[in-house]
Amino acid sequence: MTTQPYLSALFSLEDRVALVTGGSSGIGRAVAGALARAGASVVVVARKEVELTATVEELKADGCRAAWVSADLGTRDGVRAAAEEAVKAFGEPDILVNSAGVNLRPPMGELAEDVWDTTMAVNLEAPFLLGQRFGPGMAERGYGRIIHITSQQAHRAFVQSGAYGVSKGGLESLARSQAEAWSPYGVTCNTLVPGFVMTPLNARLANDPEKVAALAARTMVGRNGLAEDFEGAAVFLASHASAYVTGQSIFVDGGLSVH
C-alpha cells in the first residue's frame, strides 16, 4: 500500500465545504489556507474587504476554491446575513471554524457594559448562532466538523483576562454542548487552544519585547506561536482522521500550559 491513498483517506477534504470566520488574518487565515489546500472549498468571513480579497486571491492562485463574505459578526442580524450569503458560494458547509474574535481587555474595574456586550457578541454568540444554523444540517447529512479557536484565558486568568477570558471559557463549554447534541450523528465539535501567537489580535502585547520573551520562555519549545502552527491540527480536526475526537480542548501552545 502506498502512503498517498492512505493519507488521502484520512486527511483529504476533497468535496467538503468549509466556512471560516476571521479567516482573513492571523490563525483564521492560516486555517482557511490549510483547509483549502487539503481540498475543501472555503468561504472566508470577516470584516475588511481588502484583507478578504487578498486572502481569497492567494488561495485561488494556488488552485484552491475560495470565496469571501464581508460581514459584521457583532450583531445577530449580521451573523444570520453572513451565514446565508456564505452558502451561496459552494452550498451548505461540512466544516465550520469560528476564529473571529475581539480582544478588548480593560482592567476589570473599568470593564464597561459595552465592552462586555461586544466581546460576548463576537466571541461567543456568533459561534452559537452559526452552530445553530449549520449544526443540524451537518447532523442530518451524517458528517460535520465544528472547530472553535479559544485561548489560554479559557483555563487560567492572566494579562487582564476580563470579558475575553469569560467569552473563551464559554466557547469551550459551547463546544462540549454541541458535541453532546450532534456527535451521535457524525458531527464532532472541538476547540483549538493557542498559547501566545504573533498575530494582529495580540498586537498590543507583541509590542512589549520583555513580555514576549517571558512568554516564549514559559513554553517547552522555546518560542511563541505562529499562525501556521495551527494548520495541521485544523486539517486533522476537519478530516475523517478525527472521527472519534469530540468535545475536546486541544492545546497548540508549545507546552506553555503544562510548563
Active-site residue list: 164
Q: Report which residue type is found at 5.
A: P
> What secondary structure does DSSP assign to the chain, as a single string?
--HHHHHHHHH--TT-EEEEETTTSHHHHHHHHHHHHTT-EEEEEES-HHHHHHHHHHHHHTT--EEEEE--TTSHHHHHHHHHHHHHHHSS-SEEEE---------GGG--HHHHHHHHIIIIIHHHHHHHHHHHHHHHHT-EEEEEE--GGGTS--S--HHHHHHHHHHHHHHHHHHHHHGGGTEEEEEEEE-SB-SGGGHHHHT-HHHHHHHHHHSSSSS-B-GGGGHHHHHHHHSGGGTT--S-EEEESTTGGG-
